[in-house]
Amino acid sequence: MALQAATSFLPSALSARKEGSVKDSASFLGVRLAADGLKLDTTALGLRTVRVSRSADIRAQTAAVSSPSVTPASPSGKKTLRKGTAVITGASSGLGLATAKALAETGKWHVIMACRDFLKASRAAKAAGMDKDSFTVVHLDLASLDSVRQFVRNVRQLEMPIDVVVCNAAVYQPTAKEPSYTADGFEMSVGVNHLGHFLLARELLSDLQSSDYPSKRLIIVGSITAGNTNTLAGNVPPKANLGDLRGLAGGLNGVGSSVMIDGGEFDGAKAYKDSKVCNMLTMQEFHRRYHEETGVTFASLYPGCIATTGLFREHIPLFRLLFPPFQKYITKGYVSEEEAGKRLAQVVSDPSLTKSGVYWSWNKNSASFENQLSEEASDADKAKKLWEISEKLVGLA
Ligand code: LMG
Ligand code: NDP
Ligand code: PMR
């Protein structure tokens, strides 16, 4: 029997379940009982790793997981695809949770729920009826670059392949009068929705590249209100506008620079929409830089107006009351969490959605189509500039 304490006393290091290499393992709050030795991992504490193991090497586990993605093992002679592993940020509610559930239910996916609130995520998965073997919760707070780096280390320690990464988490602060800041001093909406995800995606790209899964994907959730200024929804003020990115270049910290990307006055609703433009530009820049080299599919999507999610938690009560019926009966843009989850799950796993650089949307009959992004959200020069400034801010350049 082995005991692996995955630095469970640090919230940023919590990981609960592991599937794959050690079949006979049980875990509770990050302490894993496994069949092959005793392992106490303290890397998250910056301490030396102490390992007391009966089996010689942890590599044995790695080898067990990295089995080829297609095995000719089935008795019928048909090749079977191994279970895919998808990392989903913000899987503790709304779209992320619905997607995790949809994927888990197929039996073909293991979901790594990358969430800031470990208990909330575990409970949400349980309440959604997800099988306990179909997911692993790993702590991730996108409002801290340290937490992002720690998450990457923790997720690698699970020794599961990473086949798909979904950047889904977001905050929306439409009623905030004053800006709030991430641990690194960035305005919160852009800090979490864009910069945290930017670092995460950059870090996990090599993991995606080394996966042997037939279709590896990096998906960044976008939105109509920011990406489609050619629609009514995209014209509701305040409109997204990154300007010349002077605020971002200044660090978005409100000290020497503005907290808004374009250098303007703080506006929480605009900051959210700006961050979504960043998400969509980032996806396209990833595609240009890395699609050919890595074979990874990069995609974004507008899942529909999921008017009931936690995204609107900070809006005024009257808005929260009226917004769902408004979307349902007037704009007809409404989509349930379940339906939206199925849409995103399609972008994760549908064999027909392998095209890279695409912004997916769905029509009234729920059929997917390649949507066009508005001018700013498809501006390649801006995407390049955004990429270069972002990599400096997150310490990659
Ligand atoms: C702003 O608030 C913030 O001020 C700003 O800082 C920023 O955060 C911005 O985008 C972010 O939001 C938005 C503000 C304006 O929303 C509210 O304050 C919400 C309350 C809205 C209350 C409106 C009630 C008035 C109702 C008038 C009737 C409308 C007529 C409808 C016509 C129907 C004809 C068939 O909000 C808006 O701009 C609108 C927000 C969308 C909410 C939609 C409200 C419409 C109400 C419709 C009721 C729906 C009932 C369904 C009935 C079904 C019938 C079959
Ligand atoms: P929810 O608020 O339900 O979900 C957002 C998730 O992000 C939650 O799980 C939340 O965690 C998580 N999150 C927030 N901050 C952090 C952080 N600092 N670190 C880690 N996770 C964090 O909203 P939705 O499901 O609606 O939003 C999901 C995505 O869909 C977003 O990208 C949003 O922009 C997009 N979208 C939503 C639309 C809609 O109509 N709802 C329309 C178009 C796009 P916690 O549970 O702990 O709060
Ligand atoms: Mg919007 C005509 C269709 C349509 C669609 C699909 C959306 C989606 N919205 C539409 C129309 C309108 N909205 C109209 C006509 C109004 C003015 C009455 C309106 C208002 C409105 C507000 C105040 N809508 C909003 C808000 C928000 O605070 C939401 C927002 O912008 O969040 C950033 C929102 C949204 N409308 C949408 C969608 C998908 C959202 C929310 C989430 C997002 O874009 O990520």
Cis ω on the peptide bond leading into residue 72 (within 30° of 0)?
no
Compute the distance between CA of residue 159 and CA of residue 207 in angstroms, rounded to an integer.
Answer: 11
Cα angle at 351 between 350 and 357, to 5 degrees? 85
Choice between 25 and 219, residue whose per-residue pLDDT is larger: 219
How many Å lie between the centroid of ligand 3 and the Cα of residue 317? 16
Residue 23 lies in a domain: no
Encode pLDDT of 36-54 as tens digits.
333 333 333 222 222 323 3
Query: Does 356 score more than 70 pLDDT?
Result: yes
Residue 354 lies in a domain: yes
Encode pLDDT of 201-239 as tens digits.
999 999 999 999 999 999 999 999 999 988 999 999 999
The bound ligand whose nearest atom lies closest to the alpha carbon of 273 is: 3
Nearest atom in ligand 1 to 315's CA: 8
H helix or E strand, kind and range, residue 85: strand 84-89
Name the pLDDT band for 364 (thresholds 50, 70, 90). confident
How many Å lie between the centroid of ligand 2 and the Cα of residue 219? 14
Encode pLDDT of 285-296 as tens digits.
999 999 999 999
Nearest atom in ligand 3 to 302's CA: 39
Name the pLDDT band for 70 (thresholds 50, 70, 90). low
How many Å lie between the centroid of ligand 2 and the Cα of residue 301? 14
31: its two tokens: 């302490």
Q: Looking at residue 106, what is its pLDDT?
A: 97
Residue 205 lies in a domain: yes
Segment 250-278 mean pLDDT: 96
Q: Is the CB of 233 under 6 A from ligand 2?
A: no
Structural domains of the chain, count:
1
Residue 14 lies in a domain: no
Cβ burial of 112 (10 Å; 0-12, 13-18, 19+) is buried
Residue 272 is among the residues annotated as catalytic for this protein: yes
Q: Looking at residue 129, what is its pLDDT?
A: 97
Query: Does 78 score more than 80 pLDDT?
Result: no
Q: How far is CA 274 from the centre of its chain?
A: 18
The bound ligand whose nearest atom lies closest to the alpha carbon of 319 is: 1
Q: Whose CA is nearest to atom 27 of ligand 1?
A: 322
Q: Is the CB of 200 under 6 A from ligand 2?
A: no
Residue with tokens 């940020």: 89
Residue 9 lies in a domain: no
Compute the distance between CA of residue 174 and CA of residue 312 in angstroms, rounded to an integer.
Answer: 8
Of residues 268, 307, 92, the one with CA closest to residue 189: 268
Nearest atom in ligand 3 to 269's CA: 33
Encode pLDDT of 157-214 as tens digits.
999 999 999 999 999 999 999 999 999 999 999 999 999 999 999 999 999 999 999 9
Q: Looking at residue 76, what is its pLDDT?
A: 61
Q: Whose CA is nearest to atom 4 of ligand 3?
A: 233
Q: Whose CA is nearest to atom 33 of ligand 1?
A: 330
Q: Is the CB of 147 under 6 A from ligand 2?
A: no
Residue in 175, 225, 272, 273 to alter for ligand 3 test, most ligand atoms within 8 A of Cβ = 225
Residue 44 lies in a domain: no
The bound ligand whose nearest atom lies closest to the alpha carbon of 267 is: 1
Let me know: does 153 contact 175? Beta carbons within 8 Å. Answer: no
How many Å lie between the centroid of ligand 2 and the Cα of residue 263? 25
Marked catalytic residue, from 172, 213, 272, 334: 272
How many Å lie between the centroid of ligand 2 and the Cα of residue 91? 8
Residue 70 lies in a domain: no
Cβ burial of 31 (10 Å; 0-12, 13-18, 19+) is middle
Q: Looking at residue 123, what is its pLDDT?
A: 98
Answer whether 0.90 is exceeded by the pTM.
no
Q: What is the mean pLDDT of the chain?
A: 85
Segment 141-160 mean pLDDT: 97
How many Å lie between the centroid of ligand 3 and the Cα of residue 319? 11
Nearest atom in ligand 2 to 167's CA: 32
Q: Which domain holds residue 254?
A: 84-394
Name the pLDDT band for 77 (thresholds 50, 70, 90). low
Q: Where are the alpha helices (DSSP H) in 197-333?
A: 197-210, 224-227, 246-249, 268-294, 317-325
Residue % of the chain over a pLDDT of 90: 77
Segment 19-36 mean pLDDT: 31
DSSP 100-145: HHHHHHTTSEEEEEEES-HHHHHHHHHHTT--GGGEEEEE--TT-H
Q: Whose CA is nearest to atom 41 of ligand 1?
A: 323
Q: Is the CB of 93 under 6 A from ligand 2?
A: yes
Residue 357 lies in a domain: yes
CATH value at residue 260 = 3.40.50.720
Let me know: does 181 contact 279? Beta carbons within 8 Å. Answer: no
How many Å lie between the centroid of ligand 1 and the Cα of residue 210? 48
Whole-Å CA distances, 299 to 85, 247, 358:
17, 27, 5
Nearest atom in ligand 1 to 225's CA: 10
What is the DSSP pairing of strand 217-221 with strand 164-167? parallel
